Amino acid sequence: MLHMGSKLKRTRQTILAWKQYSDENNLCLVRGIHGYDSRFGSDEIFEQFTKDPNIVAAAKASNWWQACQHYNPGLIESTQSAMIEALHKAFEFAEEDMIVVMAGHTPMIEWLAYAFDPYETISRDTKLAELTGFIFTEDNGKIEVTGTVGF
C-alpha cells in the first residue's frame, strides 16, 4: 500500500513517481493508495519553525532539531505527538504483513524517528538526503524504527 504522507506537492510527486517506477519494474503489487495526513507535514507546520529568525539562523548553523530544541522544544513535542498518532492511524489501514510506502519531508521524518528512539541511537545530527529515510515497523500497536533506506 502507498500512503501519500503529507498534502505537500513534492510528497505527492515523490510517492506517485515511486509507484510508476515500481509498476514499470514489477517491484511489488500496489494494493491501493491511501490519502494524505497533514500531521506528517503542512505549510502551517513548516511555518511554525521557519517564521522565527532565531530558529532559522540556528538551523543553518546546525539543524532544525537542535535549533528547535534550543528555541522552541514544545514545537518538537507537539509535532512528534501528532505524527505518532498519524503513524498509528496509517498502520491501521495496513493488512498483516503488508508494507506501507510513504514519502515525507525533512526534518519531519527525522523528528518522527527520534520519537521512537529514546536511547538516542539515531544521531540528532542526521540530515536526510533525497530518497533516504527510516523503516518503521508495527507489532501489536508498538512502533519501532528497525532500519534505514538509502543511507
CA–centroid distance for 118 within its chain: 17
Q: What angle, rounded to 10 degrees, do the helices at 108-115 and 73-92 form?
A: 80
Longest dimension (CA), the chain: 47
pLDDT in tens, 16-31: 898 899 899 998 888 8
State the pLDDT at residue 64. 93
3 state DSSP class of 11: helix
151 pLDDT exceeds 80? no
- Tell me the C-alpha distance between 131 and 105, whole Å: 10
Percent pLDDT > 90 in the chain is 56
Using a cut of 0.95, tell me whether the model's pTM lies above it: no
User: Whole-number mean pLDDT of the chain?
Assistant: 91
